[in-house]
């Protein structure tokens, strides 16, 4: 059972996340930020996991704590659900277009967290979501899941399209990487991830 359930409460956010990596894209997302709900839903549906997220954060400040802390808790939940990481394909890469925008993500479930993020947004916000928080989300996710992630905007004009293409590219790369291999082996010359 590759599942996890994590609650985390600080003075800034109160978050509960449940996930099942072998689910079927069943989602229930309530982050308090409309566009982030849209992105988390896209991530779950396109990676084929079941995901439930509830966040009550200090949105009277701004969305920063909520977005970053959801990335932290989601990363920890993924790490917990993957366990010793035996029997997974480990690598995944995807190009995803959305109208005029094209995004790329390549990732390695390596136990070595890293984020390379190359994307530029033309506006500060998409709805109530600060575009600079896209990178913050993926950094928090990568460092708490132990995943090496490379994310790149190839090109695009509309920020909604660029951001959505990024989340969907991450989802498709993640889906490929968490897929189980046939023999349950650890794909590493070291024998351990
Ligand atoms: Mn959309």
Does residue 193 sit within a domain?
A: no
Kindly report, residue by residue over 119-147, the tens digit of the pLDDT.
Answer: 999 999 999 999 999 999 999 999 999 99
Residues of the domain holding 107 = 3-178
Query: Closest by alpha carbon to 105, among 17, 26, 177?
Result: 177
Is residue 182 very low, low, confident or very high in pLDDT (cuts 50, 70, 90)?
confident
Mean of pLDDT values over 59-86? 97
Q: Which of 18, 21, 22, 20 is nearest to 30 (CA)?
A: 18
The answer to whether position 64 is within a domain reads yes
| 161 Cα: distance to centroid of ligand 1 (angstroms) | 7
CA of 35 to the centre of ligand 1 (A): 8
Q: 118 alpha carbon to ligand 1 midpoint, in Å? A: 20
Within a domain: residue 185?
A: no
Three-state secondary-structure class, residue 12: coil
What would the two tokens of residue 31 be?
Answer: 């982050």
Task: Please report the beta strands in 75-147, taking only residues with DSSP state E, as ranges in sequence order.
Answer: 91-98, 101-108, 114-118, 125-126, 129-130
CA–CA separation, 53 and 127 (whole Å): 20
- pLDDT for the residue numbered 189: 80
Domain count, the chain: 1
CATH code of the domain covering residue 166? 3.30.230.40
**Interval between CA 38 and ligand 1 midpoint (Å):** 7
Q: What is the mean pLDDT of residues 20-29?
A: 95
pLDDT at 25: 86
Query: CB under 8 Å to 155, separation ≥6 — which residues?
Result: 100, 101, 102
Gap from CA of 8 to ligand 1 centroid (Å): 28
Q: Does any domain span residue 192?
A: no
User: Measured at the alpha carbon of residue 167, what is the angle toward residues 1 and 84, in degrees to the nearest 5?
Assistant: 30
Cβ(28)–Cβ(120) below 8 Å: no
Domain for residue 189, yes or no? no
pLDDT at res. 90: 96
Per-residue pLDDT at 76 = 98
**Residue at 65 is within a domain:** yes
Q: Looking at residue 181, what is its pLDDT?
A: 85
In this model, does residue 176 exceed pLDDT 90? yes
Inter-residue contact 103 to 96 (CB < 8 Å): yes
Task: Say yes or no to pLDDT of 183 above 90.
Answer: no
Q: How far is the CA of 88 from the centre of ligand 1 (A)?
A: 30
Query: What is the Å distance from ligand 1's center to 37 Cα?
Result: 11
193 vs 24, higher pLDDT = 24
Residue 185 pLDDT exceeds 90 = no
Q: How far is the CA of 99 from the centre of ligand 1 (A)?
A: 11
> What pLDDT score does 188 carry?
81
Task: Specify whether the CB–CB gap between 164 and 42 falls below 8 A.
Answer: yes
Report yes or no on 191 lying in a domain.
no
Q: What is the pLDDT at residue 184?
A: 75
Asked if residue 125 is part of any domain, the answer here is: yes
User: What percent of the chain shows pLDDT beyond 70?
Assistant: 100
Ligand 1 centroid to Cα of residue 96, in Å, is 13
At residue 164, the pLDDT reads 98
Q: How confident is the model at residue 106 (pLDDT cuts 50, 70, 90)?
A: very high
Q: Pick left, alpha or beta for residue 8 (phi over 0 → left; psi -120 to 50 → alpha; otherwise beta).
A: beta
- Assign 158 a pLDDT band (cuts: 50, 70, 90): very high
Ligand 1 centroid to 77 CA: how many Å?
Answer: 25
**Residues 6 or more apart in contact with residue 49 via CB below 8 angstroms:** 19, 20, 21, 22, 23, 25, 178
């Amino acid at each position: 059972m590759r599942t996890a359930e994590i609650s985390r409460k600080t003075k800034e956010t109160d978050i509960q996340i449940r996930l099942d990596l072998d689910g079927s894209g069943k989602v229930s997302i309530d982050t308090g930020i409309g566009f982030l709900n849209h992105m988390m839903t896209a991530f779950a549906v396109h990676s084929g996991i079941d995901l439930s997220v509830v966040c009550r954060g200090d949105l009277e400040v701004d969305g920063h704590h909520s977005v970053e802390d959801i990335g932290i808790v989601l990363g920890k939940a993924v790490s917990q659900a993957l366990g010793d990481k035996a029997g997974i394909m480990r690598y995944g890469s995807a190009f995803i277009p959305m109208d005029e925008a094209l995004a790329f993500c390549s990732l390695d479930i390596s136990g070595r967290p890293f984020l390379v993020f190359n994307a530029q947004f033309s506006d500060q916000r998409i709805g109530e979501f600060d575009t600079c928080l896209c990178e913050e989300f993926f950094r928090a996710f990568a460092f708490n899941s132990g995943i090496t992630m490379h994310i790149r905007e190839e090109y695009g004009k509309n920020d909604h399209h660029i951001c959505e293409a990024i989340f969907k590219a991450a989802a498709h790369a993640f889906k490929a990487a968490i897929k189980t291999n046939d023999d349950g082996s650890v794909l590493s010359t070291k024998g351990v991830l």
